[in-house]
Structure 1
Amino acid sequence: MSALSRRKFLAAASLAAIATTASGLSKRAAAKQSLMHIVYYWLKNPASEADKQKLIDGLHELVTVKQIKYHHIGVPQVFVEGDPQKSYHVSLLMVFEEAGDIDVYHKDPIHAKFVKECGDLWGKIVKADSLAV
């Protein structure tokens, strides 16, 4: 299998795994067009385990926002050198029952506290949102 087709396969398999995990949401939630919000964080100081743990601890508090129906906080699983999207340090996946819930989440004081306390830890973030169809 060529590197490009292997990467396409791994990307498709990753998306399928996320979709399968999130499928625990009710059919009613899917009918309301649930939203998956994915964030990848690159630390300013990747050698600092303390910074990484502070970010992870902050994320665990962040996901207590009541609009979040499911979450996953993770780190890259490196099993093949050079796979796409393995350069990030911490990831966050959140599922909202309705697409509009993300707007409420962004205004929640818990979100503001997270950004204030942890915002200086990352040098780069990449966000992606996906609506259920």
Structure 2
Amino acid sequence: MKTIKRRSFLANVAITSALVTVALPSEAKPKDKKFVHHVYFWLKNPSNEADRTKLIEGLTTLSKVPTIRFHHIGLPASTNRSVIDRSYSVSWMLFFDNLQEEEVYQTHPIHLKFIADYSHLWERVVVYDSEQV
């Protein structure tokens, strides 16, 4: 049986590691980029607590769509800086594993029912979608 010296062994390991590294892509990209869907609602009657409560209840039902990984329902924070827009009534932020899962959400029966049942409450909706870099 041939004995391998420590230096020779370490040199072979280093060369093999270098070759494997060269064979890999220089920048590993995730297979699926995380996707964020952030919706802002302006109620027709912004001072009507019952309308706001009803919209929040509707958004809570939306959280049952199975492709949603995380959701957040929010109201404007009391922060006050010139760059902050606090004119909206309710925000709805969703996290998905990828764009395809967000597209499933868009056509899911729960989402379509939400629009049919609650769209009379808002006068304006703005959506910001973003993908992971």
Q: Which residue of 2 aligns with 1:8?
A: none
In the other structure, the counterpart of 2:36 is 36
1:51 aligned residue = 51
Task: Write the letter of the residue equivalent to 1:129.
Answer: D
Q: Which residue of 2 aligns with 1:132?
A: 132
Question: In the alignment, which residue of structure 2 is the partner of 1:97?
Answer: 97
CA distance in 2, matches of 1:110, 1:50: 22
Query: Which ranges in structure 2 are unaligned for 5 or more consecutive residues?
Result: 1-29
Counterparts in 2 of 1:1-133, with a 5 A limit?
A: 31-80=31-80, 83-133=83-133
**How many corresponding residue pairs?**
104
- 2 CA distance for matches of 1:89 and 1:103? 25
Structure 2: distance between partners of 1:70 and 1:31: 20
Identity of aligned residues (%): 40
**Separation in structure 1 between the aligned mates of residue 96 and residue 79 of structure 2, nearest angstrom:** 30
TM-score (norm: length of structure 2): 0.74
Query: How far apart are residue 78 of structure 1 and its match?
Result: 1.7
**In structure 2, what is the Cα distance between the partners aligned to 1:48 and 1:111?**
24
CA displacement 1:27-52 (0-9 Å, x = unmatched): xxx64101000000000011110000
Whole-Å Cα distance in 1 between the matches of residues 107 and 61 of structure 2?
15
1:60 is paired with a residue of what secondary structure? helix
Q: Give the secondary-structure state (helix, strand or coil) at the position aligned to 1:119.
A: helix
Q: Give the letter for the 1:84 counterpart.
A: I
Moved over 3 A (4+): none
Q: Give the letter aligned to residue 126 of structure 1.
A: V
TM-score, scaled relative to structure 1 = 0.74
Structure 1, gaps ≥5 residues long: 1-29
Larger Rg over CA atoms? 2
User: What does the per-residue CA deviation read over 1:79-124, in whole Å, with 9 as the maximum and x for residues that have no partner?
Assistant: 3165522110100100010111111111111001100111111100
Q: Distance in 1 between matches of 2:98 and 2:41?
A: 24
